[in-house]
């Protein structure tokens, strides 16, 4: 700058560029001269500034080493997250973004997105969510071959424990873990033996009186608001009564007690279920998020887990006392404890209790009931066929057999509702253990997370004719009726839920009782009841329908009053 000013003072006017007059040159020279005085003042203080600057010490070797290590680790992590390691499954799959992989490509309903991807990449493909590689099964044939065959079933019998669930088990108790969420441990199959004993066909038949009491309570709770308001919001009624049904079946608890059991719960029960959601917990895929304070929803889930454990432990103790004095009613706990009095610890029994009632307490059972209720209220033809099946059942001595009664339209409706709506669209994750899996030339290493896309499996064209249509008759006539009924929503292989007969019998009984006394109309709200378009939250742990309201029309008031006054 100083040189520029000095040179400017010696410039001859004859050398000025064209268009720059003398006055312009003088003004420019004055401006530069004024600025040069300012910089000269600064220059006089330059030695002092340098002295102050040199008084600061250079970073230590330890600091330089630490910073370098952090930078190097970040670069290595970035490289790992943007490349395919040799330990990743070598299956085809969609190309992801750097660092996040396919996390933001899953759409509003991941199960639907994965179904669409399966038509591009094949029935079994891989994807990357953050640092984790996941394999997704999308067809019934592939899932049965890998999860249920003797060649591969043992490899896929464990479950991963997500970060949030692992923390929950430490803070709340291992009692919180359900059979379905448990990794492969020695105690697991003992728990499964307990649960299987409590839901066998013989045991299920002994619970019919408890089921009848529960369905009577459904009708009672529907009758009151129907009389007062005319229009019913079914959500609170079906969620509370599904919980009562689960508790009554497992513990033999009177309906009046069961209905009051969770009235003082501090937070919604679904807070606990959301920790099992394989599509929504970002910290499971991005470890750096664990450095931030935990979300309030997690803290609430811990409170709910401790609360539920306490309630179930109290019910177990009540059952033990009743067994001692022989005043129990037939229930799941009685079926277990009579055969296994001393085999299992209190922790194991509470864990089994959590497993057996979690479906009714959270969302599987109530959401299935709500989907079914909506489609009955929307389609009069289907409702009338179900009602005629109820009338025919009343002429028979025996109650319905979910396995053998293939000619019962209402039972076919129950099966089709479970297939078409699929409230658990992505099954709980599996994890390969013990050894690597080699399948059709592809490599799935040990420790890989595996998901079953139940939504896609129930739309597998080789297994289901017109899978996009709601057709209960498929289980009565046609190719589906001659095969054993698939229960993909209950899982496959060694981790399949054994309660298929009990659950279908419960749902059948609920609608058998409701249709006996009421006809249904849809008042307002969701009217499509399409499995995808009608879903409220596609990324939820359990998919339920959008809001709707119904109207009930009593078929025979005297008959209804007599039923509600009867003590079952």
Binding site residue list: 497
Distance CA 398, CA 405 (A): 11
DSSP state of 184: S
Sheet of 430-431: strands edge to edge?
A: 124-129, 132-137, 449-452, 430-431
Residue 137 CB burial class (10 angstroms; 0-12, 13-18, ≥19): buried
pLDDT confidence of residue 139: 96
Which residues of the chain carry a pLDDT beneath 70?
A: 1-59, 73-86, 173-176, 280, 339-344, 359-362, 481-483
Rounded CA-CA distance 79/315 in Å is 53
Q: Which two tokens stand for residue 79?
A: 């490289």
Quick one: pLDDT at residue 373?
97
pLDDT computed for residue 84 by the predictor: 65
Report how far residue 64's alpha carbon sits from residue 69's, in angstroms, rounded to the nearest whole number. Answer: 9
pLDDT of residue 61: 74
pLDDT of residue 171: 77
Q: Which of 568, 378, 210 is nearest to 386 (CA)?
A: 378
CA 309, 267, 211 angle in degrees (round to 5)? 60
Point out the annotated binding site for heme: 497
**Distance from C-alpha of 419 to C-alpha of 458, rounded to nearest angstrom:** 6
Query: Quick check: 386 and 413 in contact, CB under 8 A?
Result: yes
**Residue 426: Cβ within 10 Å count:** 23
3-state secondary structure of 318: helix
CATH number of 163-422+458-560, picked from 1.10.3720.10, 3.30.360.10, 3.30.1490.100, 1.10.630.10: 1.10.630.10
The CA distances from residue 537 to 45, 373, 421, in Å, are 68, 18, 13
Element (H, E) at 137: strand 132-137
Strands 132-137 and 449-452: parallel
pLDDT of residue 213: 95
Report CA torsion sign: 252, 254, 257, 260.
positive
Measured CA to CA, the distance from residue 375 to residue 378 in angstroms comes to 5
């Amino acid at each position: 700058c100083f040189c520029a000013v000095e040179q400017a003072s010696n410039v001859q006017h004859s050398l000025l560029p064209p268009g720059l007059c003398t006055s312009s040159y003088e003004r420019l020279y004055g401006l530069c001269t004024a600025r040069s005085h300012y910089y000269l003042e600064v220059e006089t203080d330059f030695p002092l500034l340098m002295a102050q600057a040199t008084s600061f010490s250079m970073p230590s070797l330890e600091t330089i080493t630490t910073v370098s290590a952090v930078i190097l680790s970040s670069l290595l992590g970035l490289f790992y997250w943007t490349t395919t390691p040799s330990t990743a499954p070598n299956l085809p799959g969609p190309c992801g973004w750097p660092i996040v992989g396919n996390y933001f490509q899953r759409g509003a309903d991941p199960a639907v997105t994965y179904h669409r991807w399966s038509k591009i990449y094949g029935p079994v493909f891989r994807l990357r969510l953050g640092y984790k590689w996941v394999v997704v099964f999308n067809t019934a044939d592939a899932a049965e071959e890998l999860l249920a065959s003797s060649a591969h079933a043992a490899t896929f019998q464990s479950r991963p424990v997500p970060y949030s669930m692992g923390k929950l088990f430490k803070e709340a108790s291992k009692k919180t873990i359900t059979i379905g969420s448990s990794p492969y441990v020695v105690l697991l199959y003992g728990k499964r033996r307990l649960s299987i004993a409590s839901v066998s066909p013989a045991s299920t038949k002994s619970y019919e009186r408890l089921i009848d009491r529960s369905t009577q309570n459904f009708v009672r709770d529907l009758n009151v608001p129907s009389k007062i308001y005319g229009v019913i919001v079914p959500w609170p009624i079906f969620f509370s009564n599904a919980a009562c049904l689960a508790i009554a079946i497992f513990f033999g608890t009177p309906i009046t007690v069961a209905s009051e059991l969770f009235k003082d719960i501090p937070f919604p029960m679904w807070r606990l279920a959301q920790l099992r959601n394989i599509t929504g917990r970002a910290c499971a895929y991005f470890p750096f998020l664990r450095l931030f304070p935990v979300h309030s929803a997690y803290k609430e889930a811990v409170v709910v887990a401790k609360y539920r454990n306490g309630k179930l432990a109290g019910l177990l103790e009540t059952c033990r006392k009743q067994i001692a004095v022989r005043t129990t009613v037939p229930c799941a706990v009685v079926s277990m404890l009579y055969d296994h009095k001393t085999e299992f610890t209190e922790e194991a029994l509470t864990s089994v209790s959590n497993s057996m009632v979690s479906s009714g307490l959270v969302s599987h059972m109530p959401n299935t009931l709500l989907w079914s209720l909506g489609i009955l209220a929307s389609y009069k033809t289907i409702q009338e066929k179900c009602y005629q099946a109820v009338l025919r059942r009343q002429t028979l001595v025996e109650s319905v057999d979910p396995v053998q009664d293939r000619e019962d339209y209402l039972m076919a409706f129950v099966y089709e509702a479970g297939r078409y709506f699929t409230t658990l669209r992505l099954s709980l994750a599996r994890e390969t253990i013990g050894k690597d899996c080699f399948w059709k030339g592809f490599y799935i290493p040990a420790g890989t997370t595996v998901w079953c896309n139940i939504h896609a499996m129930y739309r597998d064209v080789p297994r289901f004719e017109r899978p996009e249509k709601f057709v209960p008759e498929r289980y009565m006539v046609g190719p589906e009726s001659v095969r054993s009924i698939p229960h993909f929503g209950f899982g496959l292989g060694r981790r399949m839920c054994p309660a298929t007969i009990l659950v279908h019998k419960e749902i059948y009984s609920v609608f058998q009782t409701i249709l006996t006394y009421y006809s249904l109309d849809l008042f307002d709200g969701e009217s499509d009841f399409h499995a995808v378009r009608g879903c409220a939250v596609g990324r939820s742990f359990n998919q339920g329908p959008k809001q709707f309201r119904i109207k009930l029309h009593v078929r025979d008031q005297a008959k209804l009053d007599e039923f509600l006054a009867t003590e079952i």
